[in-house]
Structure 1
Amino acid sequence: MTTKHRVVRVSPEQPTYAVCVMGTKISVNVSGSIPKGATHFNVHGTAGLRLSIICDPKFVPESPDPSRWPLKSGVEVIVAMNGPSSNVNDNKVRVSYYGSTEEMLASAWLYLTCVAISLDADTNRDGVVQINSTNKKKWTWGPSGKGAVLLVNCDRDGPSSGNMDTAYSHVRSRADLEDMSLVILTTKGPAGIFQNHKLLLHVSVTDAPRLRVFQDGGNASLSSYQHVLGSDKLFHTVECSDGKQQTCFFVEGLAFPDVSFEGLVYLNATLWEASSQDLLDTPVFSDTVVFRVAPWIMTPNTMKPLEVFVCSVKDNEEFLEAVRTLAKEANCKLTICPLEENMNDRWIQDEIEFGYVESPHKLFPVVFDSPRNRELKEYPFKKILGPDFGYVTREPKKGSVTSLDSFGNLEVSPPVAVKGKEYPLGRILIGGGPHRSGGNKMTKVVRDFLFAQKVQSPVELFSDWLKVGHVDEFLTFVPAPDRKGFRLLLASPVACYNLFKEKQREGYGDVSLFEGLGEERRKTIDEILMNKTHYRDTIHTQGYIDWNRSILKQKLGLSEGDILDIPQLFVLGTELKADAFFPNMVNMLVLGKHLGIPKPFGPVIDGQCCLEAEVRSLLEPLGLTCTFIDDFFAYHVNNGEVHCGTNVCREPFSFHWWNIVP
């Protein structure tokens, strides 16, 4: 009969000594050394034991005498312990052997010591370590799921000039400890058992680079926290000087989930019996806790804004003042990156994306630094990384970085449901080339990272028809009080063309765009509508946006009522790539109900810009306030707008990512 229990062999020639760990059972092999003439056996144990006989009826008929069992392979003796031992070898099992005359021929003795060993973490995800938990070896998703969570300790709780905390193999501060997950190793039993047994904490070669473990030294000094596992350390011997003790460990993650790392790491505790004569030790018992490393999570426009980031450059003083006013109205902190730090690189949206990481006991924001690496490349690491503000980046090992790798090409939807499938943290949106062979894409290392996080299942859109190539040039999301809680705004060349035709019919064909921006830029409505190239570009670019509209409706579960068309013209330039003809109003800054929209400089009719009036008529019924910001010379003529020149750190979701079912 096969068994998964630890097997201990007994012999009449000498006593056998063994350790039994609480919660496990021992299978006693009574047939390994049978006295000559023995045909049956019986077994007795002391009060601290539970004995049971298991037999296979196919091989062992029902015994007329339950105290006698035939010495056949179909009989198995199972021993379990009622509680930890007070002394070494304080429980005994006696196996008595009998011949055909019922005379006892010999006895074999098994001396047992019971210990309790448990490696535990917060497997219920309630912020508390559960001792002797039974749901720690397998990680499951969903509201009823179990399994511990590990944060990548990617903030900087030490000196401001230092690296991320993951770079250091020592505890830097109390705040550093708070970013780690607590693990408790509990042992109960006589201390003497560890004279010929040892308890090891260990990780695999694969997991070692992905975590680091510190042992609590038991006093207030940070230096007492010893680095015992992870990086180049695979195992650690736990000193058990007391029969009853709890040893605390703090575990930090070193790597986010990625293409070659699912996100699961395993921490093991194994009791070994020391062997004599230089033989290998024998494993007696092992306990395991599995962690899932918390993913990096993006936040959509519908989440509350906490802090706005913008660059101060040589020519954007009025723009800065407008953003300052808007942030104040939205009760939002404003952080200005000065010229000496940005070196006249104004495109802070392209350099970084804000998100966060979360465990049941801790949450902090994390800035994702793009591989764009222009003049702003040092800013996120030197100025944003800090206490409880993490940092992550992905750099391609080979190949050039393109505009598609800037993070204006990285957005995320609000929470959606698609054909019964819930996406409570929304879906990431990235742009690239057409869905055919040879299409340009965001660099593989970034795409792999985003897909590996699992909880915001990315959607790839077609953005490479644009000169800059970013998804934020034709879409954004704004909060709404009804329907799904938001509206998707899409740039619409046809909506703009139709608006201009309507104004022409009303007799305003001679009214110009770009008034006050220089005579050479002025274009009347009539001139735009009569220009065949403008019409061609309108139809062509609308086709690209409609292609994306279809994908977004399918992948986000949207209907036409969830989408608003924002009038916007594009013109096709070199290589038939598109630029915004006037400041692109979809490329806006969303701060709650306050919107900072690029001022389009459209035709002024009855004292107001007809493009602004159209956008107000679409958005103000949703309770949104539209502020039009002049970004023409500071941003628009440089191929960007308000959204490109700003960035927002937002409040995290209240929904816990581990409750998702991917």
Structure 2
Amino acid sequence: MARTLDRAFDLDNGNWVLKVSGAGFIPVEEAFQVTGPDINKAVSLAVAYFTLHTDRDRDGVVDPDAGPINRSNPPAITFGTAGVGAIIPVNCNSDGSNTAPGYADNQDKNVNGNNDRDHDIAHMQIKLVRVGANDPISPDWKLRLSLKNNGIGTAPPQQHFRVFNGIANNSTEILGPETDFETEIKANTLGATKSYGIEAVRFAGNGFRRGDGHIALEVIQPEVTGPSVRSYWFSEKIVAARWIGNHHLQTPTDLYVADAGNLAFRTALGAVALADGVTVNLADPENATPTGVPYLDVNTWRDDPDSPLANDDDRWLRDTIVSGHTAWPGNNGAVEEKQVFMKTFRLRPLQNWVYETLLSASVGVTYPAAGSRNDHLNDGNSGGNIGVTPPVKKTTNAGTTEYLYGRIYYGDNVYSRVNFSTRAFFDAQNMQAAIALDTDWLSVGHVDEMMTFVPYAAGANAFKKWKLLIASPKAAYDLMTTNQGAHGAAKVMQRPAWNTGTRTFGYTNLRIGGTSVACTINDLLGNGNAPLANPDGSGAYTYAQLRNWNLNGIEQVIGRNVRLLKDAFDLDDSDIIRVPVIFYPCHQIDENRPTLINDFISWRVGGDDHGFNVFPGKNNGFRTGALTTDMPNMFVGNNRLYVPKPFGPWIEAPGHDMAAARDEDKNGYDLFEQDLKTKLATAGVTHTCVFIDDWNDYHVAHGEIHCGTNELRTPYDGQTAFGAARYEDWWTAVDA
């Protein structure tokens, strides 16, 4: 709308120069003759001002209308159905060949190919708005474009976001890690609309707690405010897309396993996966090219000093990476999703394969601890020590808190805990509030040795579509006690083989550390000497000591963790399936900390019990490992559970199941296997158990199938699960 402004001047007769200027107006300069009083001079000013635009309403299209002038827009980043503020993708996959080996797209200065251009960067625009005459823009006008933080205590803003000089392939950085936080643009070089690409350099985390920032456009008209002071400005708040850890209600599509001299295991695993509709991908760390791990050192990308590592055997797929995904409003109205593994702070040869092969156009990698000097290397950092519950909720007198994407849980102990940068990364996503559990009693110290979640489609609501499987020595000993009368001589930790000629079973003793651990139910329930030595150096211990320590020590420690879980979300005993597992002492704890009265399982007349009367994980007690294989340490597939074969009591029963594929299973059964299958079926879990022998390849090294595999899973279908369209995307589903 046109405006009229009158201004009166008292001037002497003579020649004068009339100059008229204002913020957002093309200046006018005219010379004219003043010849007498009451002379009127009308001047029309052409309007020309620049505005800044992002996709603040998250519909996949840059907003046509600018926000309020001289104010940040929106006032705050919000989520939910009315949430506002442009969501910027963390471009951590690798689309283009112009990136160096091991580098993701957001670790160089360019738009890396058409796929990167079309799917992995957000768009921003500067528009020139004109009203009136189309007068030329002054060559003295400047635009100052800058990245700024929304809060204090964060790293420089250019370490978080990158702005490209366009949206075409090979567009280059003008703001970001390798340039600066601000740049000047000559205003007369822009047309009516100039598009820019934006990507996030990192997810929220340490030094970037809120994951947000803002882009400011300051317009400098020297004739109005001088050569360096802004005349007016626009600002758009932006936020990095969030990382979401995957859980077991999501459909697995791809499974990864390492080539580690484990052909028989991989063959068995592959057969199960094929029947389950899961593609198996082979990792080959022994032959991977040693590859540097990039990190941002102020304004330069460098290889982490601890990389590259020499290639070698590293079969623990679970421990180097954590499966997850991210999503954001894509361009042209499409929602974009990307599989993203979080690299753990673990320096082992598998990371060469991760950065050389796994990092690709379809899979991204993010590394919260890259280049950190404040993190501590320990077993607690491993991915086997990090899990995600399915959707859960917590009900209290004050109300109900819903965790639509589940809750992260990890093990925590005195000397081995998830490193600071990774914990800060989890917290900053503000999506899956973390639960710390006690794993001080485990030798490796990983939560996947203790528990897992399996799908339960018949759950009463979307927050109970699961059952929790917990390792339980009590379940093992109760089962053996019940069966001792009929099957006391049943072989335990012995590999059965059916002889079709003699129609009898032969057995191979299983070993740990070169020592046979073969025994029977009668042995385990008796008081003879167990085969493994006491880690305290005192020699043999008895099966009675082992039994009492399992029942009164380990079962109690696991029970404490169950109580922690009950405090964290709505968990009833009916949600829990206790899985038979027997543990053994791996090493004694001799640390500079006291053994307190409450650390003792019991007082023993005449002195201690060589560590067996101290709770596992306490000083002078033991850290432990699974003696029979740890069945909860399984891979949860689409319709099958890939369970480590427990080698529990083998019951000889010729003709027991003639429909079974193996002769052994036709003529006998494992008591622990049968117990798990029965409990799952009784609870209504429809997944089929398939038991895979991993004893020699993983179990003897304190791991099982879950430790040795990793996977991609499709993002959770929240709209179907929770029954409303708002739950389809995380930015409308959550309110924080």
TM class, shorter-chain normalised?
A: 0.7 to 0.9
Aligned partners of 2:324 and 2:342 also within 8 Å: yes
Match of 1:132 among 54, 58, 65: 65
| 208-217 vs 421-430, greater mean Cα deviation | 208-217
Q: What residue number does 1:192 align with?
A: 136
The alpha-carbon deviation at position 292 of structure 1 amounts to 0.7
Q: Aligned partners of 2:421, 2:227: CA distance in 1, in Å?
A: 43
Match of 1:143 among 81, 85, 96: 81
Superposed CA deviations along residues 164-204 of structure 1, whole A, max 9, x for unmatched, are: 12222122211222311101111111443434533332223
Aligned partners of 2:51 and 2:129 also within 8 Å: no
**How do 1:497-646 residues align onto structure 2 when only pairs under 5 Å count?**
497-504=477-484, 506-515=485-494, 516-518=507-509, 520-530=516-526, 531-538=543-550, 539-575=552-588, 576-605=622-651, 606=653, 607-620=668-681, 621-646=684-709
Residue 303 in 1 paired to residue 250 in 2?
Answer: yes
Q: What residue number does 1:71 align with?
A: none
Letter in 2 for 1:305: P
**How do 1:192-591 residues align onto structure 2 when only pairs under 5 Å count?**
192-204=136-148, 206-216=156-166, 222-223=169-170, 225-231=171-177, 232-241=179-188, 245-261=192-208, 262-275=210-223, 279-314=226-261, 316-338=262-284, 339-341=286-288, 343-361=312-330, 362-393=336-367, 394-395=369-370, 396-397=372-373, 400-419=376-395, 420-433=400-413, 440-483=416-459, 484-504=464-484, 506-515=485-494, 516-518=507-509, 520-530=516-526, 531-538=543-550, 539-575=552-588, 576-591=622-637
**Residues 1:574 and 1:11: Cα distance change in structure 2 (over 3 Å):** farther
How many residue pairs get aligned? The number is: 567
Larger Rg: 1
Superposed CA deviations along residues 133-173 of structure 1, whole A, max 9, x for unmatched, are: 54645211222211111112211112285321222212221
The alpha-carbon deviation at position 11 of structure 1 amounts to 6.9
Superposed CA deviations along residues 5-33 of structure 1, whole A, max 9, x for unmatched, are: xxx99773586734355xxxxxxxxxxxx
Match of 2:115 among 165, 168, 175: 175
Query: Secondary structure of the equivalent of 2:486?
Result: coil
Query: Secondary structure of the equivalent of 2:287?
Result: helix
Q: What residue number does 1:39 align with?
A: none
Indicate the percent of aligned positions where both proteins have the same amino acid. Answer: 27
Query: Secondary structure of the equivalent of 1:143?
Result: coil
The alpha-carbon deviation at position 406 of structure 1 amounts to 1.1
Aligned partners of 1:158 and 1:172 also within 8 Å: yes
Q: What residue number does 1:100 align with?
A: none
Letter in 2 for 1:421: T
Query: Secondary structure of the equivalent of 1:417?
Result: strand
Q: Aligned partners of 2:575, 2:105: CA distance in 1, in Å?
A: 43
Aligned partners of 1:464 and 1:470 also within 8 Å: no
Aligned partners of 2:137 and 2:187 also within 8 Å: no
Aligned partners of 2:253 and 2:279 also within 8 Å: yes
Letter in 1 for 2:382: S
Stretches of structure 2 that go unaligned for 5 or more consecutive residues are: 12-17, 30-36, 68-72, 150-155, 289-310, 331-335, 495-506, 511-515, 527-542, 589-621, 654-667, 718-727
Letter in 2 for 1:588: M
Aligned partners of 1:127 and 1:360 also within 8 Å: yes
Stretches of structure 1 that go unaligned for 5 or more consecutive residues are: 1-7, 22-84, 91-103
Q: Aligned partners of 2:586, 2:281: CA distance in 1, in Å?
A: 36
Query: Secondary structure of the equivalent of 2:350?
Result: coil
Q: Aligned partners of 2:10, 2:362: CA distance in 1, in Å?
A: 65
Superposed CA deviations along residues 416-455 of structure 1, whole A, max 9, x for unmatched, are: 111211111111111111xxxx564222122222222211
**Residues 1:9 and 1:527: Cα distance change in structure 2 (over 3 Å):** farther
The alpha-carbon deviation at position 634 of structure 1 amounts to 1.2
**Residues 1:216 and 1:13: Cα distance change in structure 2 (over 3 Å):** farther
Query: Secondary structure of the equivalent of 2:487?
Result: coil
**Residues 1:529 and 1:129: Cα distance change in structure 2 (over 3 Å):** same
Superposed CA deviations along residues 213-266 of structure 1, whole A, max 9, x for unmatched, are: 11228xx7x35x343222223333445449971110101111221122121121
Query: Secondary structure of the equivalent of 1:558?
Result: coil
Letter in 2 for 1:550: R
Superposed CA deviations along residues 49-73 of structure 1, whole A, max 9, x for unmatched, are: xxxxxxxxxxxxxxxxxxxxxxxxx
Structure with more contact order per residue of length (Cα contacts < 8 Å, sep ≥ 6): 2
Query: Secondary structure of the equivalent of 1:573?
Result: strand
Letter in 1 for 2:475: A
Superposed CA deviations along residues 73-107 of structure 1, whole A, max 9, x for unmatched, are: xxxxxxxxxxxx8x8669xxxxxxxxxxxxx9999
Q: Aligned partners of 2:190, 2:238: CA distance in 1, in Å?
A: 28
Query: Secondary structure of the equivalent of 2:61?
Result: coil
Letter in 2 for 1:348: L
Residue 17 in 1 paired to residue 16 in 2?
Answer: no
Query: Secondary structure of the equivalent of 1:359?
Result: strand
Aligned partners of 2:87 and 2:238 also within 8 Å: yes
**Residues 1:9 and 1:649: Cα distance change in structure 2 (over 3 Å):** farther
Superposed CA deviations along residues 382-403 of structure 1, whole A, max 9, x for unmatched, are: 1101113211122441565111
Superposed CA deviations along residues 352-373 of structure 1, whole A, max 9, x for unmatched, are: 1121221111221112222221
Q: What residue number does 1:4 align with?
A: none
The alpha-carbon deviation at position 585 of structure 1 amounts to 0.3
Query: Secondary structure of the equivalent of 2:508?
Result: coil
Cα RMSD after superposing both structures: 2.8
Query: Secondary structure of the equivalent of 1:319?
Result: helix
The alpha-carbon deviation at position 337 of structure 1 amounts to 1.5
Q: What residue number does 1:63 align with?
A: none
Match of 2:729 among 640, 646, 656: 656
**How do 1:14-53 residues align onto structure 2 when only pairs under 5 Å count?**
17-19=20-22
Aligned partners of 1:88 and 1:192 also within 8 Å: no
Aligned partners of 1:199 and 1:272 also within 8 Å: yes
Match of 2:92 among 154, 157, 181: 154
The alpha-carbon deviation at position 270 of structure 1 amounts to 1.6
**Residues 1:373 and 1:10: Cα distance change in structure 2 (over 3 Å):** farther
Aligned partners of 1:88 and 1:193 also within 8 Å: no
Query: Secondary structure of the equivalent of 1:510?
Result: coil
Match of 1:121 among 54, 65, 68: 54
Letter in 1 for 2:84: K
The alpha-carbon deviation at position 116 of structure 1 amounts to 4.9
Letter in 1 for 2:587: T
Q: Aligned partners of 1:499, 1:107: CA distance in 2, in Å?
A: 106
Q: Aligned partners of 1:106, 1:485: CA distance in 2, in Å?
A: 84
The alpha-carbon deviation at position 503 of structure 1 amounts to 0.9
Query: Secondary structure of the equivalent of 2:267?
Result: helix
Letter in 1 for 2:580: P
Q: Aligned partners of 1:617, 1:477: CA distance in 2, in Å?
A: 17
The alpha-carbon deviation at position 330 of structure 1 amounts to 1.3
Letter in 2 for 1:234: F
Letter in 1 for 2:204: P
**Residues 1:360 and 1:266: Cα distance change in structure 2 (over 3 Å):** same
| 203-212 vs 591-600, greater mean Cα deviation | 203-212
Q: Aligned partners of 1:108, 1:502: CA distance in 2, in Å?
A: 108
